[in-house]
A and B are shown apart, each in its own frame.
Chain A
Amino acid sequence: MTRPLVLLLFALLLQGCTEEPARQVHTSFSEASGLLVEDNLGLSQRLIPESRGVRAVISPDGRWIAAEDSKLSNLVVVRAFRYSGGRYEEIPLPGVRQKWEAMANEAGLDFEDLINPRVGVEAFGPGGNSLLLSFRADTGLADRPELQGQAEFLLEPAPE
């Protein structure tokens, strides 16, 4: 009876030694320093070097960071960063432009005509595999002065 118990305890001990400690990620932003991400494993990386303002949202597992980047006072874009190989890398979200184009076309406008376009980060999906964004812009049209919408984007996991 004691031998299996010892083996079990040894196995648990071994698992505890090999398991990576949980990553704890946090971000900070200042106009002077930009958006900085740090973790408890020693990562310190500047993700956005300059911006008027940034609001960063970290996925529950820390694999993704979605940041609202205020490029101008009336223009906010969202940038997505994926953790891979010990660093974050920016991953384009081409669907964002397509969403804007669809919204603009629906109002009879071109994508480039939108006024005060702002994208917002609403939430990461379950498991951090998707990102829900909100879209709002003015149109300059009397009968439909504002456009609003939401869209969910699948996030491709980092290659193993």
Chain B
Amino acid sequence: MPKVNLTNALAAEYIELFQTAEINPNRFDAVDAIVDRIVGGKSVYENVARKVGAPWYLVAAIHNMESNLSMARHLHNGDPLTARTTHVPAGRPATGNPPFTWEESAVDALKGEKIDQVPDWSLARILYELEGYNGWGYRLYHAHVKSPYLWSFSNHYTSGKYVADGTWSDTAASRQCGAAVIIKRLEQRGEIQPFDGRIPARVIPLRYANKVIDRGEDLQRFLNTFPGITLRVDGWPGDSTSDAAKQVFGFYLAGDPRTKDD
């Protein structure tokens, strides 16, 4: 299976997506219900997390994605804990005797995916490991769709997924809350430490330009929230955008030719 490397660019993408992720309003109750269950089982996730050296909420998020938080099934593949797994990956856990506890199974499954060998647990690394845990099919073959394994139920995902017979559908939409969305909600509710300290602040540029600039669209969207301003969101902060900035802030954008004499 081709693997994707966690480059600086990919790390920045994950951080950007996480920062800008918004839970779809019509899914808010469903996300909170999942988070309630996860918080209720926190001590179990902490036990597993200690044994694999990973954040407890990563274990919880994977548990939700793989087996809908069922404690009666192997984390590997959903087979019953009363025996070793019989389906792919078969024969797990290789050691110990059935029936297995969910914790035993989870430790084995996570070690099987080398989660215990991850060198650090930055936000970008967490999201990278989660996407890799599921598989890189979305990123490699359907890059126009952000993996629902991470972003379903958020503004970063609308539709597109592999359906039950393994074929791709652009119109099918995941009915499962994404792992990153769960972590985002845990953060919002104060159940985990905020990631802000490790994330570079998002800066909306307040400068004039004769071309499309990075985050120029963010500036225009922000200005459009003020009464009477209806900018075209094209990422090109020229005269109109600078006029709007003057209306809101009392000064033109930096670099606007009209401020040369200031």
Using a CB–CB distance below 8 Å, which chain A residues touch chain B? Answer: 31, 50-55, 68-77, 96-97, 100, 104, 111-118, 120-121, 134, 136-138, 140, 145-146
Contact = CB atoms under 8 A, between A and B. Distances in A.
Contact of A72 (B67, B90, B162): B162
Q: What 7 A-B pairs come out closest when comparing CB atoms?
A: A117-B164, A112-B172, A77-B166, A55-B88, A120-B87, A68-B88, A72-B135
24 contacts: A31-B1, A50-B2, A52-B1, A53-B88, A55-B89, A68-B87, A70-B88, A71-B162, A71-B166, A72-B135, A72-B137, A72-B149, A72-B162, A73-B133, A75-B164, A76-B87, A76-B88, A97-B165, A100-B165, A111-B163, A116-B67, A118-B78, A121-B87, A140-B175
Contact of B66 (A73, A77, A121): A73
A74 B165 contact: no
Nearest to A50: B1
A138 B176 CA distance: 10
Nearest to B85: A55
Given A73-B134, A146-B70, 9 more contacts: A53-B88, A55-B90, A71-B137, A97-B164, A100-B164, A112-B169, A113-B175, A115-B174, A120-B87
B82 interface: no
B136 to A, nearest CB: 9
Given A74-B65, A77-B165, A115 B176 contact: yes
A74 to B, nearest CB: 5
B24 interface: no
A74 B175 contact: no
The prevalent SS among residues of A at the interface is strand
B158 interface: no
Interface of B: 1-2, 65-68, 70, 77-78, 86-90, 133-135, 137, 149, 161-166, 169, 171-176
Contacts of B172: 112
Contacts of B171: 112
Given A72-B162, A100-B165, A111-B163, A52 B135 contact: yes
Contacts of A121: 87
A78 B90 CA distance: 14
B95 to A, nearest CB: 19
A70 B135 CA distance: 9
Contacts of A140: 68, 175-176
A77 B66 CA distance: 15
B77 A118 contact: yes
A74 B164 contact: no
A145 B164 CA distance: 16
A149 to B, nearest CB: 12
B163 A74 contact: no
Nearest to A115: B176
Given A72-B134, A74-B65, A116 B78 contact: yes
A5 to B, nearest CB: 53
Contacts of B78: 116, 118, 136
A152 B86 CA distance: 18
A145 B90 CA distance: 24
